[in-house]
A = this chain, B = another copy of it.
Amino acid sequence: MEMEEAGRIDHLSGERQKAQFDLQPMRVLLAGGEHELDVAQRVAAIVARDPVFSKANRTRLSREELYKNSLRKASHGWKLIQQLKLTEEEAFKLRSLVDEPTFTDLHWGMFVPAIKGQATDEQQKYWLPLAYKMAVIGCYAQTELGHGSNVQGLETTATFDPATDEFVMNSPNLTSTKWWPGGLGKASTHALVYARLITDNHDYGIHAFIVQIRSLDDHKPLPGVTVADIGVKFGNAGYNTMDNGLLRFDQVRIPRNNMLMKLAKVTKEGKYISSDVPKQLAYGAMVYVRQSIVSDASVYLSRAVTIAVRYSCVRRQFGGQGNDPETQVIDYKTQQHRLFPLLATTYAYRIVGQWLKWLYSDVMNRLESYDFSTLPEVHACTSGLKSLTTSVAADGIEECRKLCGGHGYLCSSGLPELYAAYVPACTYEGDNVVLLLQVARFLLKTLSQLGGGVKPVGTASYLGNLPVLTKQGSRVSQGTDWLDHSNLLYAFEARAARLALVAAQLVQKAGNEAGFEQHSIELIEAARAHCELMVLSKFVERLQRGVPGRGVQRQLDILCEVYGLFLLVSRAGDFLSTGCLTPTQVALAKQQLQNLYTEVRPNAVALVDAFGHTDHYLGSILGRYDGDVYPNLYKDAWEEPLNKTVVTDGYEEYIRPILKQEFLPSRKARL
């Protein structure tokens, strides 16, 4: 943020002066409100000025140093949260701005919500106070070495023993080893464990149990518990600050009451009783987690885009005549064509994320009055948006790295670690392919119910217009028609509807479940089209409500059009093969898209400034607010541990003998 830059020369001030809109209202919009912006700015300032949170040396530490330092940050963060009496919202913000994956993420993000969702009121009264003051540290142990997405395939067992009123937790084989849970490897004292509940010689399937795994006195694993870190992951720092763990039980006994019993319970006698609480009530937690993942997708992508936009203004290449400087790479069309759509995507995801926040509160309100009618649609839309946004954000971060040329490959660019830390989002909380297939299943069901007169709701309501969408082409006849958002929207609706219909017909022809698998490629395509439409339509809807501030609405209009037209051009095959558009209409879209780049160009730096990332949070020399890249790259190189010595360690042993020809066979013969 600018305050950090006082007294320094701003090499990008020329770029900032070109902006055609007011920064402050754009910041408010992106933050989600005045209050949210205020919280973000206050907490960001606390984090940025605290030396404990420095990220400067991260990629130069060994795993052990790195991990210990992440514990230090987590502990310091918790201390600040307590001593500054931060609100829950501020505490959450602080953890995310510290920007280092650590065990507290799982404690607050998974352990606590799971207790809230699955424990009885009584159980919550016991566990939540302990969790809130972190007298216990919890993690979420679901996946196993041999089992990921298919929760029903988990092999860990929890067998009830009425003689002692206990469950016996056991890992019957190697593949049942719990594997991946964050915070498990070295930090947590408790784990929320998913296991097959067995009582009365009957397997009742997967249920949740709280299992203490480490002593609260000396932190040693309890008897029968084998626990460790699973080893190094992608990237230098990246996710290696997290102790993703493995966990095995050898007949570990826990009190019966450690089973979370909101949805089902086991009596003292070992009788299994389903509760009359509708299972759907647990659904709120999943919506919450997914909406935060979507909102994170925008945040992570916005960091990469900020770095790439700023450095593309600093970096120059070719084109300078005589003594003129070379051309800024951001002025090249090829650079704009890769970068500006990602900028637009970041804005689009921010807006759809805000809408999901609203959806979450809507779902919670409905659940309170046992209204489950919207849940299938909500499930499809959160699954789909999680899948779409994380995939695109991960690829987009890596694309931004490539857009920075060779220097993007240096860890001091911040981009390699950003990618490495972000990309697991494509896998956790639902593998992205599996999720798209769930969206497809919803689309098939919606289509099959149309005949019965069931009117699709929410994000699927366009399917109610199927007869028109599958017949009527686009009205676009000249380039500027594409700037009419209703034309954009219609094209996306028609494409999604037609792809869904084609897939449905294929599956129907096969006539059974095998048909679903057999045509899964087409189903995935239909699901993706549906998700891309959702993002576009939420963007358009938001703009229809109007946005205050000089020039702000205009910029958002442009970004919305860039988002839509870029996708349209990239997926031209879909639009053309389904007959939604003619080749001429696609060509007009291409042309219009390139015109829009010219409008984005002068605003690019201000549009990324509006994300409001501090230099601390970006952690990137290429993305520095002041654009002072090269002197700082040079300075940073000297921090490399290899540069501590002038003559490298290994010279005497390995280089000198080469130079002195000590390996020549003739010499060997002489010895």
Say yes or no: A64-B642 contact (C-beta < 8 A), given A572-B573, A665-B83: yes
**Which chain A residues numbered 406 to 451 have a C-beta less than 8 Å away from chain B?**
406, 409-412, 416, 420, 423-424, 426-428, 431, 433, 437
Summarize A's interface: helix, strand, loop or mixed.
helix
Chain B residues closer than 8 Å to A617, beta-carbon distance: none
Which of B79, B83, B410, B630 sits near A174, CB closer than 8 Å? B630
Interface presence of A34 (CB below 8 A):
no
Chain B residues closer than 8 Å to A74, beta-carbon distance: 654, 658
User: Is A216 within 8 A of B659, CB to CB?
Assistant: yes
A32 CB → nearest B CB, Å: 29
User: Is A68 within 8 A of B427, CB to CB?
Assistant: no
User: Is A405 within 8 A of B148, CB to CB?
Assistant: yes
Instruction: Tell me the bound Cα distance from A411 to B570 in angstroms.
Output: 33
User: Is A82 within 8 A of B230, CB to CB?
Assistant: no
**Which chain A residues numbered 157 to 178 have a C-beta less than 8 Å away from chain B?**
174-175, 177
Instruction: Tell me the bound Cα distance from A588 to B5 in angstroms.
Output: 60
Chain B residues closer than 8 Å to A575, beta-carbon distance: 573
User: Is A410 within 8 A of B68, CB to CB?
Assistant: no
**What would be 9 A-B contacts, judged by CB atoms less than 8 Å apart?**
A72-B654, A83-B663, A175-B630, A220-B647, A231-B640, A232-B236, A333-B521, A402-B426, A572-B574
Which of B62, B234, B398, B630 sits near A146, CB closer than 8 Å? B630
- A80: nearest residue on chain B (CB-CB)? B663
Chain B residues closer than 8 Å to A423, beta-carbon distance: 409
Instruction: Tell me the bound Cα distance from A340 to B637 in angstroms.
Output: 42
User: Is A177 within 8 A of B634, CB to CB?
Assistant: yes
Interface presence of A643 (CB below 8 A):
yes
Interface residues of A (CB under 8 A from B): 59-60, 62-64, 67-68, 71-72, 74-75, 78-79, 82-83, 85, 133-137, 143, 145-150, 153, 174-175, 177, 180, 185-187, 189, 216, 218-221, 228-236, 239, 243, 246, 316-318, 320, 326, 332-334, 337, 398, 401-402, 405-406, 409-412, 416, 420, 423-424, 426-428, 431, 433, 437, 517-521, 524, 569-579, 583, 586-587, 594, 630-631, 633-634, 636-643, 646-651, 653-659, 661, 663-665, 668
Say yes or no: A654-B71 contact (C-beta < 8 A), given A648-B186, A663-B78: yes
- A406, A636, A656: residue with the most chain B Cβ atoms closer than 10 Å: A406
Instruction: Tell me the bound Cα distance from A288 to B149 in angstroms.
Output: 47
User: Is B75 within 8 A of A655, CB to CB?
Assistant: yes
Which of B63, B398, B410, B427 sits near A232, CB closer than 8 Å? B410
Tell me how many chains of this kind the complex includes.
Answer: 2
Say yes or no: A218-B326 contact (C-beta < 8 A), given A59-B232, A236-B235: no
Instruction: Tell me the bound Cα distance from A231 to B60 in angstroms.
Output: 9
Chain B residues closer than 8 Å to A82, beta-carbon distance: 663-665
Chain B residues closer than 8 Å to A149, beta-carbon distance: 317-318, 405
User: Is B405 within 8 A of A431, CB to CB?
Assistant: yes
A587 CB → nearest B CB, Å: 7
User: Is B334 within 8 A of A521, CB to CB?
Assistant: yes
- A593: nearest residue on chain B (CB-CB)? B521
- A145: nearest residue on chain B (CB-CB)? B630
Chain B residues closer than 8 Å to A427, beta-carbon distance: 402, 405-406, 409
User: Is A78 within 8 A of B658, CB to CB?
Assistant: yes
Chain B residues closer than 8 Å to A67, beta-carbon distance: 642, 648, 650
User: Is A145 within 8 A of B234, CB to CB?
Assistant: no
Say yes or no: A583-B579 contact (C-beta < 8 A), given A134-B658, A641-B63: yes
Instruction: Tell me the bound Cα distance from A487 to B63 in angstroms.
Output: 55
Instruction: Tell me the bound Cα distance from A124 to B515 in angstroms.
Output: 68
User: Is A79 within 8 A of B663, CB to CB?
Assistant: yes
Say yes or no: A583-B576 contact (C-beta < 8 A), given A134-B658, A334-B524: yes
Say yes or no: A651-B219 contact (C-beta < 8 A), given A318-B153, A576-B572: yes
Instruction: Tell me the bound Cα distance from A235 to B409 in angstroms.
Output: 9
Chain B residues closer than 8 Å to A405, beta-carbon distance: 148-149, 427, 431
Chain B residues closer than 8 Å to A648, beta-carbon distance: 67-68, 71, 186-187, 219, 243
User: Is B332 within 8 A of A517, CB to CB?
Assistant: yes
Instruction: Tell me the bound Cα distance from A137 to B433 in angstroms.
Output: 49
A320 CB → nearest B CB, Å: 7
